[in-house]
Chain A
């Protein structure tokens, strides 16, 4: 019977059960991608799917190591990361500043928001030919393309973030004599951070999409270029290496931004 047992002992067992359940969930998360790779390997090797189009993961890994040791891969990764990073910053910084201004000052918001609304639906990639004409085929054009597509989600989320700040905080700031600069840095910036970081996350995902497409269309290097040329030459293992790299970097960037979010918003 249950009530004969010591109550602490009962709860201890209950707690252990919870711990095991928790660990199981972690394992399931790790297990799912491995499971997918195993199925892929099996299907590809057994000939159930065409190994020319879907080479087995083990073959992709050995190609990956080959490209890595030859140094070719590093070159592509370096150049792509440089483009993503500079483009990202060039999109995020003006996006945050303009977003704060628009959120804080209604006249600026009403004046500029129609322009943003009109430009936003146009994919930056569709503008790539014009960007190439203006900025040439060098690095600047890729960086500008990325900056352009990162800018919009950041600006829109920052505006929403500022607007969502509870008006009582604005009253507090006003009552205690906050200057214009204080409103900007002590109220609007921290108050809009949660929304802003969501926008930056979105921007990060869009930056990866954009870099690959931009490098496919007008570049002589980078991960997108690697994917495109490998595909054209029917080197599908190399193409898969490129695809997996993109997915890998997307995952890493998300992790970095989540960590940053926790650092920047400790009060949530």
Chain B
């Protein structure tokens, strides 16, 4: 494990066991992520990437191995997760959803109010503060989810395919917004996606996973300067070749898991 890493995952393995039938979802995953790094984890569906995230999020236990999230401040929560769609509570208003983490930590009211308003403005939902999620579009719901995670000010952010259910145009817009909020806070992010484009656009480093058992098979550094524009990425020759590289790698895996 390197000295200055924010997240260090060491030989993590997860096995699902059911009636003499065991499936190895993750095998010897070792990852080090630096402070302030944006890392995307790309792999075919069912490769165990969500399981890895759930273990880091404390929603599931690993079978063996360990991980560590370096703490900088005792008052900060370890991690906050941005869930896939349906991750916001339907019985709370937009505002209450964004404030959820802060309220669970029993922070003073003025502080909750201030942070909530700040991030509501950031994601452009201030006007919708008193509405219930049923009145929001899919993109707006995910904005709430992102605002909630950032407002909670955790050590690291975990994102589980947050834009997976959105249409293409909305996805581009939200990716751009995410990068703009992220660039202010410089949080360490572990982001899961099955979209290679998304991974190239967002991250500093892309980790490729294989399916069943889920292993890290390769990593690709993305050194495109920030702030990034979608257009830059599209027109960059190097990015195009990286896309193909990753695609060739994953193609084998996707076809392998289909057989």
Contact = CB atoms under 8 A, between A and B. Distances in A.
Interface stretch (B28-36, B83-91, B163-171): B83-91
Contact of A171 (B80, B83, B104, B152): B83
A186 B90 CA distance: 11
A181 to B, nearest CB: 10
Given A168-B87, A267-B133, A267-B134, A174 B104 contact: no
Contacts of B1: none
Contact of B91 (A175, A176, A178, A191): A191
Question: Which secondary structure characterizes the binding site on chain B?
Answer: loop
A172 interface: yes
B104 A182 contact: yes
Given A168-B86, A169-B89, A190-B91, A176 B134 contact: no
Interface in B42-59: 54, 57-59
B91 to A, nearest CB: 4
Contacts of A187: 89
Given A166-B86, A266-B132, A176 B59 contact: no
A266 B90 CA distance: 10
Interface in A138-188: 166, 168-169, 171-179, 182, 186-187
Interface string B137-157: 000000000001000100000
A268 interface: yes
Q: How many B residues touch the partner, as a band?
A: 20 to 34
A258 B54 CA distance: 40
Nearest to B97: A172
Q: Which of B79, B86, B89, B100 has the most CB of A within 10 A?
A: B89
Given A166-B86, A172-B83, A177 B104 contact: yes
Contacts, number: 56
B36 to A, nearest CB: 22
B77 interface: yes
Contacts of B104: 173, 176-179, 182
Contacts of B86: 166, 168
Given A172-B83, A176-B80, A177-B101, A267 B91 contact: yes
Q: Which of A169, A175, A177, A265 has the most CB of B within 10 A?
A: A175
B133 A175 contact: no
Interface string B72-112: 00000101110110111111100000001100110000000
Contact of B80 (A166, A168, A175): A175
Contacts of A178: 104
Contact of A267 (B57, B90, B152): B90
Contacts of B59: 171, 174-175
Contacts of A171: 54, 57, 59, 81, 83
A66 to B, nearest CB: 50
Contacts of A190: 89, 91-92
Nearest to A176: B101
Contacts of B81: 171-172, 175
Would you list the 7 A-B pairs with minimal beta carbon distance, nearest first?
A: A190-B91, A267-B132, A176-B101, A177-B104, A267-B91, A175-B81, A176-B104
Given A168-B86, A172-B88, 8 more contacts: A168-B84, A168-B87, A173-B104, A176-B101, A176-B104, A186-B89, A190-B89, A267-B134
Interface of A: 166, 168-169, 171-179, 182, 186-187, 190-191, 193, 265-268
18 contacts: A168-B83, A168-B84, A168-B87, A172-B87, A172-B89, A172-B100, A174-B58, A175-B58, A175-B59, A175-B80, A176-B77, A176-B101, A176-B152, A177-B77, A178-B104, A187-B89, A265-B91, A267-B91
